[in-house]
Structure 1
């Protein structure tokens, strides 16, 4: 081996050794005071676990020696997140501030902005969905299309231009693709795989109980479709076929009411989670539509929310157990995207006291 090559090899070996020993910046939430909702610990149901706003919240910090060799570490920012999804320890954040999908790999501790060129180029991605094969579906509200990419980020196709005026959210369930069209006052349903347009709902007129005035977000459970309707300040519930079932909430400033309902999610017990961009919080309702709890608030502190837009529930909890108070078991995760403030993507845990 030539002398110069030996020197380079030794330098790289030292860098790798130091890298493996350097402290993980990740998040310092494990040493921060715990935030619970309600605030009394013994009755707490929700714990704020951690947040992501910058690449430094995830990536390992370079040592001084590494900086001398590799240069100073760049800290990338999540500018203005609108949608958030999680799958297999990867966060997919629709960032309207950068017109990209920011992908955080919690296992590899990497932070990257995704926006391919050519036919798959995105202009204003607002929400996404990841299917079981880790194909990524992205709703672009400006192009009025849904874009599909494979698990490696390769562009596959787009669809929906003919039916959508302003697609704002997407959900895939039972071989169907459900798209929320905010300016068309309806939900468009496609066949998964062929992307053939099947039907839309509601087939109604303004003034009827089932009419959607300005639908923004959607969640599909095993037998129901939940749609946040910002125009009526409520969440409307339908069957998969589009038959109207019920409405949760109404326009107003009391608890159990909404001003700007946005993201919706449902847990395995059919509890409904709704974020409100004006209240800056998340309200939880049981399956009968009764208010159970709210959390967040425009406090500016850890756990607070500032113009929240999207919410996601995940039962893949292993990575986040490190942030949970040891007196509790972590049942599932609740992720909320905030467009403003220091806490852009908040991660909360649904917790229960250990026996």
Structure 2
């Protein structure tokens, strides 16, 4: 779709592709033979919920359907499956710290796991000084170099330093400013503004890098601009806010004040259509990645500003 913002700039969001590609295995004969001889399981996408792109242009997928972590080299490499040294019963969130580390949450294990790119991607438990209660969304705040983790069952966000020490907690259960009712997904932009999906309050809350309340928008409803089952959230380089909604089967785009700009998607299995979209990630080039959970794929879109 095309849309305009308050500065009267015109933008276009267009479908770019999907991962894995439809009807494409990606393995050559030698790779298939090696997998058969050594008993390696093929990489299969089953109900992906989280995604991101690392500095090597690899696309990461968290498979909640079979508890696996996959990565896909976008430049022609095949989809690969990480070693299964740790079973993951409920993968949810993923974020990147600097250039070489990925952090992943498992809401059933109440753990955060760290993957170091130079260590064959073997996940290890990230040591935290405090126990977590159903960790879901996770994000790294670059200005403060702190790790934010949503604890859905505790209706709060816990903030840790990179040594795993608890710095502070944000929020409690409620409906007031800075209070939450089953928060889930989280995104922090380069300026340190946090965008929290306050799921059962059917709103998005904006917090500053110290955790202070800034604003909120949204309400429950079944029409455009409202929220029915809000999921993943992200922002682009222009400050627009993207929110996946699993009941609407679309992604809504808002300005920084919460006004609806446009939406894309709809129910279905074709290009640009969704069946319960969940996670969303936007890279530095405004490529938009959406986990299309029940279609077992990640779809890529591009945002372009019209000259």
For 1:67 and 1:82, how far apart are their aligned partners in 2? Answer: 27
Larger RCO (alpha carbons 8 Å, 6+ apart): 2
Residues 165-192 of structure 1: per-residue CA shift (max 9 Å, x gap): 1101211122111111111101110102
Contact 1:182/1:214, CA 8 A, preserved across alignment: yes
Query: Which residue, out of 152, 156, 175, partners 1:207?
Result: 175
1:134 aligned onto 2:100: yes
1:101 aligned onto 2:55: no
Shift of 1:339: 1.3
1:299 aligned onto 2:299: no
| Structure 2 match to 1:228 | 197
Which SS does the other structure have where 1:231 is aligned?
helix
Aligned residues: 291
Residues 294, 116 of structure 1: alpha-carbon distance in 2 compared, 3 angstrom cutoff: same
Residues 55, 159 of structure 1: alpha-carbon distance in 2 compared, 3 angstrom cutoff: farther
Shift of 1:58: 7.2
Residues 69, 122 of structure 1: alpha-carbon distance in 2 compared, 3 angstrom cutoff: closer
| Structure 2 match to 1:167 | 135
| Structure 2 match to 1:190 | 160
| Structure 1 match to 2:50 | 83
Residues 115, 212 of structure 1: alpha-carbon distance in 2 compared, 3 angstrom cutoff: farther
Q: CA RMSD in A?
A: 2.7
Shift of 1:54: 5.9
Greater share of strand residues, 1 or 2? 2
Shift of 1:70: 7.5
| Structure 2 match to 1:243 | 212
Residues 41-71 of structure 1: per-residue CA shift (max 9 Å, x gap): xx76111010014696472655xxx799879
For 1:209 and 1:149, how far apart are their aligned partners in 2? Answer: 35
Greater share of helix residues, 1 or 2? 1
List alignment gaps of at least 5 residues for structure 2.
4-9
Higher-Rg member (1/2): 1
1:338 aligned onto 2:282: no
Which SS does the other structure have where 1:183 is aligned?
helix
Shift of 1:267: 1.4
Contact 1:338/1:344, CA 8 A, preserved across alignment: yes
Which SS does the other structure have where 2:175 is aligned?
coil
Residues 245-296 of structure 1: per-residue CA shift (max 9 Å, x gap): 1112111112111011110001122111000011010001111211101001
| TM-score normalised over the length of structure 2 | 0.86
Shift of 1:160: 4.2
Which SS does the other structure have where 1:256 is aligned?
coil
